[in-house]
Structure 1
Amino acid sequence: MKWLSVLALTAPAHAYLRFGCATLSVQRLDPLVEPGKIPSAHVHQIVGGNAFNATMDPSVDIGNKATCTTCSFSEDFSNYWTAVMYFRARNGTFKRVSQYPNSLLGNLKGGMTIYYIQHDFSTNGNQKVTAFKPGFRMTVGSPQNKQANNPGITYTCLQNVNTRFPETREFPKQPCPAGIMANIHFPACWDGKNLDSPNHQDHMYNTGTGGFVAAGACPASHPVRVPQLAFEVLWNTTEFNDKSLWPEDGSQPFVWSFGDDVGHGSHGDYVFGWKGDALQRAMDSTALLSSGLKTQSVAQANQCNVKSEVQEDVDTWLTQLPGQGMAM
């Protein structure tokens, strides 16, 4: 199928799932950081299964509750979400930047590319990869972060849809010919006990240095090797490449929905929702093509959505960022 990949990396037995998920919803909900709050503090773009809601009770297996998914693998009812990128015009108004699909994803409706990487660690590459469990959830990055201290959070100024390097820790400072790709890599070492933690991060441990590169072995405190999860989100900033629209001082004009115009606060959220043992079967398979994962068409994925629980405009030209109560 064109819009998903089950591919081998350069080293033997290093493989990953790479697939697309269309946009499920764009609204101010965050069932991990602000469960039950309608609306949440800032706008998110969400992909995955239609069990997504403001609360997301961790005792509910969303792999059994959801009835459709925007992802190419029809057994993946997980939810993945990030903040939304806005363009800040010279006159101080804001416009949401649209997403566009990766080159392998056909006519997918926005969304993002998802990776589940099996073996990319240098010292425990043959260790069993344990799939996430029902109720598992995690985040990476933080909107409060003000420093370039998270190797899993980077950006790529796209020369074309297939550009992957170089990566920067901040928003590109010049117009990008094919848009901006936001890269988000999660930790891949789990404590083996807790499906979540109060800050949604302490049950995980990162031994990587960022990107799709070899990382260190999992420590004794977090000994269980889980799939390395990663997002790629392609933001179509090209309609705003005219620098006469940019701030008069020439500074870059893009800002996350929570007000960050540097880029250090980028973050990603994940709630596991694969059906049954589908993900474990894939991780156990040396040849992922034989893992038996079920797929669906792009058209089927594009049809899945959820009704917005927050009735507000997030798409037209706005005088302030939704929920932020300020203009910039």
Structure 2
Amino acid sequence: MLWRSLLAAAAIAPAVDAAATLRFSCSQLVVDRLDPLVNPGALPSPHLHQIVGGNAFNSTMDPTVHDLPSTATCTSCTPTEDFSNYWTAVLFFRARNGTLHRVNTFGNELGFTGATGGQTVYYLSQGKVTAFKPGFRMTVGDPSFRTAAQLNAKYKYMDFTCLQSSMTRGGQTLNFPNKPCPAGIMISIRFPTCWDGKNLDSPDHQSHVAYPNGNNCPASHPVTIPQVFYETYWNTRPFNNKADWPADGSQPFVWSFGDKTGYGIHGDYVFGWKGDALQRAMDQNCNSDLFANKINCNTLKTQSLADANKCVISRKVTENLDGWMSSLPGDMPIM
């Protein structure tokens, strides 16, 4: 039932019998103030990100110069041919006295408890899809959004789950949960599934992709691509004491770009699979075991969580990200 609910919520390609549900862990590569898509070359970028994937990640990732599969020497993802990079903003807890503390990620308790944080990544399809091409990149979400109406009008399937246990599914919200979550907060980010078939990127990093109309891709974006889907588990459990929450009863979490609502949720993706590995996996309708780090896909090579955990890079920006802080990194205003 859980797999069915995942597919129903996430897969938005034409509905046919054949389906790929490729699910795997990507351990934490680095937490750093870098953003090679929105702020290429900026060192530091305006706000903090948590990044997973290949170790070729850098402040500048020009696709004409940086071919990720040939530049990277390891990946924090369990498929060893996936040198893509996946990243999101970082979650902070703001205490009653106004100080802030970074929230860590933790391994998905449905099969990936051995991972050193990071994300669970999915590639979903229902029917024939065209895998991404070298140099492809995209973002989803808008960090300037502060209302549900803004988020609903433009994006689909990005939400928060207040985990009562590791098995919790359902009860999603578009904003930060307003009560302590016993097993942490799971944040889901799903990307569009239609591509214009021409551009590997666009000035806003979004216009070259689109959501389908019903079950069909629009004429402007006729090519069906896999749905990239992140689940990030944030360890909010150390901050569940209501005595530390704001005195007015408001929720205490803040994104690293200063959003205290949650509606500015967004994600970034740079494709970096080696050769035709992703296309082979999609063509073979590969899937994964829910409660084990096992991909049922004889065309893909995989590594253990322990080996994936070894792939890390040093921070490029030197700043204190541990302990209590008086302001967000980069002095981002909270609003």
TM-score (norm 2): 0.89
Count of residues paired in the alignment? 309
Q: Name 2:86's counterpart in structure 1.
A: 80
> Which runs of 5 or more structure 2 residues have no equivalent in the other structure?
9-15, 288-295
Alignment of 1:324 onto 2:331:
yes
8 Å contact kept, 1:50–1:69: yes
Q: Name 1:106's counterpart in structure 2.
A: 113
Q: Name 1:135's counterpart in structure 2.
A: 135
Secondary structure, in 3 states, of the residue corresponding to 1:281? helix
Structure 1 residues 39-58: aligned runs within 5 Å: 39-58=44-63
Cα deviation code 1:99-153 (max 9, x no counterpart): 111121131000010000011xxxxxx3x21000110000000111122223232
Secondary structure, in 3 states, of the residue corresponding to 1:81? strand
The structure-2 alpha-carbon separation of the partners of 1:130 and 1:53, relative to structure 1 and needing over 3 Å to count, comes to same
The structure-2 alpha-carbon separation of the partners of 1:92 and 1:188, relative to structure 1 and needing over 3 Å to count, comes to same
> Which runs of 5 or more structure 1 residues have no equivalent in the other structure?
120-125, 209-214
Q: Please report how far the alpha carbon of residue 316 of structure 1 lies from its aligned counterpart in structure 2 after TM superposition.
A: 1.6
The structure-2 alpha-carbon separation of the partners of 1:327 and 1:216, relative to structure 1 and needing over 3 Å to count, comes to closer
Alignment of 1:162 onto 2:152:
no
Candidates 282, 295, 304, aligned match of 1:297: 304
Secondary structure, in 3 states, of the residue corresponding to 2:308? helix
Q: Name 1:211's counterpart in structure 2.
A: none
Candidates 171, 176, 183, aligned match of 1:178: 183
8 Å contact kept, 1:281–1:291: no
Cα deviation code 1:165-187 (max 9, x no counterpart): 11111001111111111110000
RMSD: 1.7
8 Å contact kept, 1:259–1:324: no
8 Å contact kept, 1:25–1:305: yes
Q: Distance in 1 between matches of 2:27 and 2:299?
A: 22
Residue type of the partner of 2:253?
F
Secondary structure, in 3 states, of the residue corresponding to 1:323? helix
Q: Please report how far the alpha carbon of residue 231 of structure 1 lies from its aligned counterpart in structure 2 after TM superposition.
A: 0.3
Q: Please report how far the alpha carbon of residue 326 of structure 1 lies from its aligned counterpart in structure 2 after TM superposition.
A: 4.3
Runs of 4+ in 1 over 6 A off after TM superposition: none
Q: Name 1:253's counterpart in structure 2.
A: 252
Q: Please report how far the alpha carbon of residue 161 of structure 1 lies from its aligned counterpart in structure 2 after TM superposition.
A: 1.3
Secondary structure, in 3 states, of the residue corresponding to 2:34? coil
Q: Distance in 1 between matches of 2:203 and 2:332?
A: 27
